[in-house]
Structure 1
Amino acid sequence: MQLAPLLMLLWLLASGLAAAPAFAQAPAPAAAAAGADPGYRIAAGDELALKFFYAPELNETATVRPDGRIQLQLVGEVRAAGQTPRELADALKRAYAGSLRYPEVSVEVEKGFARQQVFVGGEVGRPGAQPLLPGLTLMRALIVAQGPTDRAALNRVAILRRDESGATRVIRVDAASQARRGADDGNDPPLQPFDVVLAVPSRISRVNKWIDQYVRRNLPVNVGFSYDLNDNNRRGD
């Protein structure tokens, strides 16, 4: 039998996870956060400063487009989203090797982390966008959204995530299992830029249809992305 959402919240409060609201109100400066985290992944909307050590005339600032690419001099379009700044710098060094004798380049994220968000909706107390801060997991995002309501089915929370090709994945998470075996990446996964977390109502039998309808009716335009859900991108219910 699935635990009631209220009992789940009480258990989380006792375990210390409910400190997330305070954590969510202390964002770090964007540049510092990106620079301090070697695992930071570039995302759509990030502004990148490219500096060429031996060809300063090529220095520029590029904004990552919604399709994850940037447009650069000499080499044209380059995929940036999903890479760390170091990985992108290595890719650019290879791309410019045919045009420059010394293609040494650095990549810095000037505006990035503070602009990345996730969206939490469905059966939660306060649906809406949240800043993607370090350590934000599915359950912490639900708690910041004032928790799941008593109509939510915590054993089938859905995460909508776009891959590098732009296709949408629907990841099913059994968050209710945290009470039985504790939180881990399987039932409380870390969130990625522009994830959509949906607390599905327990009364719904056709989950995919409900997700389609919810996204089309409720997903705010200012989140910065859109999803095209179809049967090729997910398992049917």
Structure 2
Amino acid sequence: MLICAALSPATARGLGETAPAEDANAVVQLSARDAQLSETSVAGDYRIAPGDELALKFFYVPELNEVAIVRPDGKIHLQLIGEIRAADLTPEQLAAALKRAYAANLRHPEVSVEVQKGFARQQVFVGGEVARPGAQPLLPSLTVMRALIVAQGLKETAAANRVVILRRGEDGKPQVIQVNVASQSRKGASDGNDPLLQPFDVVLAVPSRVSRLNKWIDQYVRRNLPVNVGFSYDLNDNRSGY
């Protein structure tokens, strides 16, 4: 899948203490929303990651056109300007950064950024009390429940009313979102109890015995998450009170 951004000159929810675990094997009632999910695209929110192959095209200076691979440190090296950070930016944001960087060298720094390879590598990670924890490719219709199904479901030791999403916010800081997937048996699936996942989300099924949720998350992240999850969490600095 090709993702392109062109730039022209004109141009935590609070978490409570332990609650009684609801039936982890409750039958999920799918709503009409699921029929629309396959038409939803996450391309507009795509963020460049290490290993992505970027095609840079300069409309008025084609001799500067090149293909750059994002290095593990998140940077690319380009003609005239040298190194510039690309990881964690959308293609549009990188195009804007390149326009500013090339303004000192080009009269009309009109540039496009195309992600030629990389979209399929966006992932989410599912862990905790699931049968098969691990990374999953992020598809446009991947919700929390679908990710749990791919992970072969919740264990009996999981609290289905306390599934947690760890998500990187706009400022790069972690957000902690609690999802009650057990409520789908009563209310059906909705954006509240079965939200769409975003690139590099971490979905954790919390054990029903846990009383200090923040401590458990912190320990699980430090001991189990792979380095390729895309970014790090420092929950010790969290001051939201849970």
Higher strand share: 2
Give the letter aligned to residue 235 of structure 2: N
Matches within 5 A, 1:149-164: 149-164=155-170
Task: Report the 3-state secondary structure (helix = DSSP H, G, I; strand = E; otherwise coil) of the residue aligned with 2:178.
Answer: strand
Q: What is the distance in 1 between the residues matched to 2:185 and 2:23?
A: 11
Q: Which amino acid aligns with 1:47?
A: E
Whether contact under 8 Å (2:94, 2:113) holds in the other structure is: yes
Q: What SS does the corresponding residue of 1:142 show, helix, strand or coil?
A: helix
Residue 160 of structure 1 and its aligned partner are, at CA, apart by 1.4
Q: Which has the higher contact order (CA 8 A, sep 6+)?
A: 2
Q: Find the aligned partners of 1:185 and 1:37 in 2 and give their Cα distance.
A: 16
> 2:25 matched to 1:6?
yes
The aligned residue for residue 84 of structure 2 is 77
Alignment of 1:21-40 (within 5 A): 39-40=44-45
Seen in structure 2, the aligned counterparts of structure 1 residues 73 and 171 have a Cα distance that, compared at 3 Å, is farther
1:175 CA drift (Å): 2.2
Matches within 5 A, 1:1-237: 2-7=21-26, 10-12=27-29, 39-45=44-50, 46-64=52-70, 70-75=76-81, 76-79=83-86, 81-83=88-90, 85-221=91-227, 223-233=228-238, 235-237=240-242
Q: Which moved more, 1:111-120 or 1:74-83?
A: 74-83
Partner SS, residue 129 of structure 1? strand
> Which residue identity does 1:102 align to in structure 2?
H
SS at match of 2:99: helix
Deviations along 1:133-184, one digit per CA (max 9) or x if unpaired, are 1111111101110111122112221111223544222222222232333322
Compute the TM-score of the two structures, normalised by the length of structure 2.
Answer: 0.75
1:37 is displaced (CA, Å) by 6.5
CA contact (8 A) 1:67 1:166 kept: no
Task: Find the aligned partners of 1:120 and 1:69 in 2 and give their Cα distance.
Answer: 28
AA partner of residue 180 (structure 1):
R
- Structure 2 counterpart of 1:55, one-letter code: V
State whether residues 70 and 78 of structure 1, in contact with CA within 8 Å, keep that contact through their aligned partners in structure 2.
yes
Whole-angstrom distance in 2 between the partners of 1:192 and 1:156: 19
Asked if 1 retains the 8 angstrom alpha-carbon contact of 2:28 and 2:189, the reply is no
Unaligned runs of 5+ in 1: 24-35
Count of residues in correspondence between the two structures: 217
Partner Cα distance (1:68, 1:197) in 2: 24
Structure 2 residue runs of 5 or longer lacking an equivalent are: 1-19
Shift of 1:206: 0.6
Would you tell me which structure has more helix in proportion to its own residues? 1
CA gap of 1:122–1:190, structure 2 versus 1, over 3 A, is same
SS at match of 2:235: coil
Residue of structure 2 equivalent to 1:28: none
The amino acid that maps onto 1:81 is D
CA–CA distance in structure 1, aligned partners of residues 133 and 67 of structure 2: 34
Kept after mapping to 1: 8 A contact 2:33/2:190: no
Deviation at 1:2, TM superposition (A): 5.0
